[in-house]
Amino acid sequence: MPAGLVVGVIAFPLSIALAVAVGVPPAFGLYTAVAAGAVAAVFGGSRFNITGPTAALVPVLSHAVLAHGARVLPLLGLLSGLMLLGLSILKAGRLMKYVPGTVVVGFTAGIALSIAFGQLNNFFGITGTNPAEEHFHRRLLDSFRHLGSGTWQELATGLGAAVLLFSWPHIPRLRRIPGPLVAVTAGVALVKLAGLDVTTVQAKYGAIPRSLPAVSLDFFDLSLALEVLPLAFSVAVLAGIESLLSAVVADGMATDGASHDPNRELLGQGLGNIAGSLVGGVPSTAAIARTAAGIRTGGNSRAVGVTHSLLVLSATLIFGSVAGAVPMTVLAAILLVVAWNIAEAPEVARLVRRAPRVDAAIVLATALITVFFDLTYAIGFGVLASMVVLLRQLTRIPAAAEMLPDDSGRIRLVTPELSELIRARPDIAFFNVEGAVSFFSASTFEYELSSQDHRPLILRMKNVRHMDATALLTLEGIIEHRQKVGGRIILTAIQPDIQPVLARFGIFQKLGPGNVFEHTRCAVASIDPPQGTTTSEDGSSSATPDLPKTRAQV
């Protein structure tokens, strides 16, 4: 299939580059693209997703390699794969879509910055730095201290590759050929034919094996597994989010109205990570750029992912020795372009300039926490901060509002007939309750209704869709308070799904007979007007104290 071949050509140099970015030999990335790519394509919930090593996981995995060595990567793949299977069984796929967009943009930008700055040493040919430095600012300072160790040949090769990669997509006749493949081929030619004196993949990591390793669990270490469980959870969450985002993008690009199954996608990614770990690979996710490339070249089935894996396998067996001659500075240039593409700098700048200040702050804070601390902390902070902001806004929305006429003399959200009836009865307090009455709105709900007003109170419940325990306790307290000061409280137009909730909690019993009505006009008719006034025929309907059986009409 042509689409699978194109994606495979793109994936081969990227798999090498991403493995190098993590700090492990290129073979780790190639094994991942072969095993995880094929398994996830077959068992995943999206027909289009292409799975393999991705830039999204680079900061987490490079930190793991610094702390525990390369042996931890297959173990992380196995553990995160099992966690993804668990999330699939728990049907957590649909929950991933509730991660706020500001958080996704923020940690993606942070990942891009981490990748870009992490490639400075390879791009400039810097040597002599301390590989054990874990913190971002210390690694950056260490690189600047050794900036003089780089050579002009390394820098020139890196700059040339970067210019080629950035300009290649803008050449109409040539952009169908993957830019990374062109850059890698040119780099190998310079090393082999021109004798360019630069650090190559083979010089740094040794020759790329021209075979796949045997399936093995020799990497499993129980004590290490327990130690890295939190890290594995970070990998699983990020892999799930990234893969589901890729599936959403693919659905949008597809022309046949395709829709992915999020829980099956988590299953496929879990099995893919387990398969990759058994052959010594690194943790993997679906790759948005490779997925998009497959769709643009006509791919519309799972065969694209399988074909791409077979091509990477063939290229590893045939061209493994040639790939060892790729300059490290060329791989760094590829990763710099990848970082620029995933950062979506224009989108981040637009959010910072035009979004509400608090949302812009969440984007920037999430990005900075990703860079300076940890991706897990960044996601946790972003989600928590977004929830706090949302709850703050929700608490400002009144759960109950008195039904008063506007400038035109009409009462909103009711029929003209009911509006006239309410205006004709100033001896009754009318309140409209709206939306979800919950813990975040209970205080404003209580504030609006807990007054010393002795007039009968009618609560119109037509627009209430949810009430939690806090709201029910608050309503119970309002009823008790109202009854204590000698006032009457009536509920009307209760939705069918709210009725059993109120009945089970004892609200109807607390109200007493004759205080629950299907129609607001019936409730009005049950209240005698003050002496010397009369009601219209519209308000003289008899009360219906039994629970309503049909949806409210007024």
Phi, psi of 378 (to 5 degrees): -65, -45
Domain boundaries 400-539, corresponding CATH code: 3.30.750.24
Taking residues 390-417, report their average pLDDT. Answer: 77
**What pLDDT sits at residue 548?**
41
3-class SS string, 164-211 = HHHHHHHCCCCCCCCHHHHHHHHHHHHHHHCCCCCCEHHHHHCCCCCC
Residue 443: pLDDT over 50: yes
* Percent of the chain whose pLDDT exceeds 90: 19
**What pLDDT sits at residue 102?**
82
Which pLDDT band, with edges at 50, 70 and 90, does 422 fall under? confident
Taking residues 124-139, report their average pLDDT. Answer: 74
pLDDT tens for each residue of 175-217 = 778 788 888 888 888 888 877 788 888 888 787 887 777 888 9
Question: Left (φ > 0), alpha (ψ -120 to 50) or beta: where does 192 sit?
Answer: alpha
**What pLDDT sits at residue 88?**
93
CA dist 367 and 375 (Å) reads 9
Q: State the average pLDDT for the chain.
A: 83
* Percent of the chain whose pLDDT exceeds 70: 93
Which residue, among 281, 286, 283, has the nearest Cα to 233 in the 3D structure?
A: 283
pLDDT tens for each residue of 325-381 = 888 888 888 888 888 887 778 888 888 888 888 888 888 888 888 888 777 778 788
End-to-end CA separation in angstroms for the chain: 61
Which residue, among 470, 547, 546, has the nearest Cα to 505 in the 3D structure?
A: 470
pLDDT tens for each residue of 511-534 = 888 899 988 889 888 888 876 555
pLDDT tens for each residue of 305-318 = 999 999 889 888 88
The pTM for the full model equals 0.70
pLDDT tens for each residue of 40-75 = 999 999 999 999 998 888 888 988 898 898 889 999
**What pLDDT sits at residue 1?**
55
Which pLDDT band, with edges at 50, 70 and 90, does 76 fall under? very high
CA dist 101 and 272 (Å) reads 26
User: For 94-109, b where at least 16 C-beta lie within 10 A, e where not — what string?
Assistant: eebeebbebbbbbbbb
User: Which residues contact residue 195 at a Cβ distance below 8 angstroms, ignoring those fewer than 6 apart?
Assistant: none
Transcribe 119-174 into DSSP letters: THHHHHT--S--TT--SHHHHHHHHHHTGGG--HHHHHHHHHHHHHHHHGGG-TTT
| Token pair listed for 265 | 């996608």
Question: Left (φ > 0), alpha (ψ -120 to 50) or beta: where does 395 sit?
Answer: alpha
**What pLDDT sits at residue 111?**
80
User: In the chain, where does the domain assigned CATH 3.30.750.24 lie?
Assistant: 400-539
pLDDT tens for each residue of 215-256 = 889 899 999 999 999 899 989 988 998 898 888 888 877 777
